[in-house]
Each structure stands twice: as C-alpha cells, then as structure tokens.
Amino acid sequence: MNQEEYWRTLYNNKATSDVYKSAARSGLMSYNEMAIILNKFLEFNKKDNVADIGGASAGLALEVSKLVNGVVMVDYSPSQVKIAKRNVKKVNVKNVTCLNDSFPDLSELPSGAFSKAFSGACMQYLDKSKIYVAMKNLFRILDVSGQAAIFHCHSEKMKKGNPHGKYNHLISFYSFEELRLAAQQAGFKSCEEIRFAINSGHRDARWDKCITVDNPNLSLNILLKK
C-alpha cells in the first residue's frame, strides 16, 4: 500500500456525517473562521467559480458558497464524497458540487474552469515525487488570472511535534522553497508565504497545546497567482 492509498483508506474509515466536522481537523477552528481567512487572501466575489481540493464533508465548501457563484468540491475518499453530497442536499444548497477525485491528478476538473481554488490539510499526504504534478494540475484548472491558497503544508516545526504519531513518516513536510520551486516550474508567476491570525491577532489560548494542522502558528501556508 502506497502513501496515497493508505490515507484514502484512513479517511474512508473516518468519514463523518457531521457537516461541521472534518475527519482531518482537530475541531479548534470553525468553518466560518476558515472561510473568513480564505476570503481575506482570495477576495471572493459573486462571479467566482471555486475549486475546493480535499473538501471532506463539504463544511468549508458550504461556507464559501455563500460568497461566490459556485464551488466544486473534490475529495480522494469516496465515503467522504458520499456524505458531502448528503450534507449539501440536506441544507438545500444549489451551488456546491461534490466529486470523487485525487490530488495531484484533479482529472474531474476542467482546464481553466476556476478563478479561485484552495486546499487545506491535503498536500502533505502527497509523496514528494508528486508535488510538481499537483502544482501543474492546480495551474491547469485555474483561468488566466486564477489564484490558489494552500493551507497546512506542514513546516519542520510541526514535524518535530509528531502530529501523526507512528504514521508521521507518511507525511511530506514541505519547506517553502520546495513549494515555491514546484509552483514556478508549473507556471505560477507568484508564490508567497501567508500568515493568518485568529481574533484580529490577539493571543488565542486554544492553540497552546495543539499540534494538528489547524494550528496557524505551526502551519506553512502559501498564496499562488498565475
């Protein structure tokens, strides 16, 4: 079993029916907070068609859908996608589509179809040999002025915290330079590290003992522009 197959099996088993909870998250940050952070950097508008890569139960896609024309959410886990479709139907939202697709391939997503894209807690599950393919396909699905935000590409600081225990060796801990080089090779003109704060920059005690992908003090996040 390779790295991607392992994580697909894991998230199939951890798929949750709760629209407000993702199998990958510690639960310390709400989807509303996540959407606010994304909006700060991607500046959503009602004309945007957006790709959510690794969308789990569609909780974040549903929040973002309030700000844009439409969201197409993809996830590698068939179980997660099945539940995501159920969640979208339950709240009667018409502008969110849920598909089973893999990152780095994104074969279900048409070229040039999206003005914005985002991925949270997803890229670290890719083998490092796949990072260029992932960036190339992310570039492919964006339109000529497209932008993408990638959150939680784990830094070395998080690696030392051993967030995945005995499975930590299956995580790809990317440096900013590795991500920047892959982005440039894929064709992105700009790759910048972005930092975000909760509660307008005030200290938030919930992160003190958190070593998961939610922690903004440990994560490495980037903004890509074509």
Torsion angle of C-alpha atoms 81, 84, 88, 89, degrees rounded to 10: 70
Q: Which range among 2-6, 44-48, 212-216 has the greatest average pLDDT?
A: 44-48
Q: Going from the N-terminus, what domains does the chain have, and what CATH number goes with each?
A: 118-226 (3.40.50.150)
Return the structure tokens found at 166.
Answer: 């005995």
Q: 43-82: per-residue pLDDT in tens?
A: 999 999 999 999 888 999 999 999 999 999 999 888 889 9
| Beta carbons within 8 Å of 166's beta carbon, 6+ residues apart | none
Q: Among 4-18, 27-41, 156-170, whose mean pLDDT is lowest?
A: 4-18
Per-residue pLDDT, averaged over 131-150, amounts to 97
Q: Smallest Cα–Cα separation from 99: which of 54, 148, 136?
A: 54
Neighbours of 178 (CB within 10 A): 15
Statement: residue 10 has pLDDT above 90: no
Half-sphere exposure of 52 (CA within 13 A, CB side): 28
Q: Cβ distance 56 to 98 under 8 Å?
A: no
Q: What pLDDT, on a 0 to 100 scale, did the predictor assign at position 216?
A: 76
